[in-house]
Amino acid sequence: MEAKRPLILISNDDGYSAKGLNELIKFLHPLAELVVVAPEGARSGSGCAITTTIPVHYSLIKKDIGLSIYKCSGTPTDCIKLSLHTILEGRRPDLIVSGINHGDNSGTNVHYSGTMGVAIEGCLNSIPSIGFSIHSHNPNADFEYTELYIQDITKAILKNGLPPQTCLNVNFPNSSQLKGIKVCEQANGYWTQEWEPCPRKGNENYYWLAGEFVVTNPENDNTDNWALKNDYVAITPIHVDMTAHHFIDELKSWF
């Protein structure tokens, strides 16, 4: 008897029509039954945001054998919460996968990333979860060279699971000359030159978010940022317990 196919819940933050999402569906369809619940439009930079001031709604876009696609008015995190509560009708996914994001989410950008918001939400619900991103903002980026890596990583997590409170942040360089996988630490860094003026009717106080990311530990060859720059696929395991355990004893001495 054939083993039951696993169920993978997919979302992203670029919206249901993004190329990265549709490539991900193509790559994972051979491995599992897929339910896709993705935002109806762009939600880049959503982090783990949830929608608290207006109702959220969803609708079915497409239903095929082993593949259902829904769009949702909310954030990436809302998509996962709504799937687990109602869309999946009580079925529990074996895995939650997000992406493939147009733009990398290495380093401290994990905090702003809606792609990783999906994976963190899965993780908080004790479901193994992965976010995939590529270091290119081109809406027509070439994703072909990521296929075998994405399938291998997905198979490994379907087989092994992930430890409690842990999910994966996987970033691909924009290069077809990949050197392999490197398990990494989150690079440390910050954004600078972040706003471009967008004056409106003489009011100078309008701005577009922009900016450059500065890595503060570029010499550290264990980081995801270093791996990307050197053509490795960067896998950074992410821990949703953010407690600064190393600081607890000192902090206790202050109060």
Q: Give the nearer residue to a copy of itself in terms of CB position, either 2 or 250.
A: 250
Q: Give the nearer residue to a copy of itself in terms of CB position, either 4 or 245.
A: 245
CB 242 within 8 A of CB 248: no
Q: In terms of DSSP bridges, do strands 212-215 and 189-192 run parallel, antiparallel, or are they unpaired?
A: antiparallel
Shortest CB 127 distance to a copy of itself, Å: 10
**Which residues, in sequence order, are CB contacts of 227 under 8 Å at separation 6+?**
171, 173, 182, 184, 233, 234
AA letter at 50: I
**Which residues, in sequence order, are CB contacts of 5 under 8 Å at separation 6+?**
32, 33, 66
Shortest CB 140 distance to a copy of itself, Å: 19
Shortest CB 68 distance to a copy of itself, Å: 14
Token duo for residue 64: 């095929």
Shortest CB 64 distance to a copy of itself, Å: 20
Q: Give the nearer residue to a copy of itself in terms of CB position, either 31 or 183.
A: 183
Q: Give the nearer residue to a copy of itself in terms of CB position, either 46 or 98.
A: 46
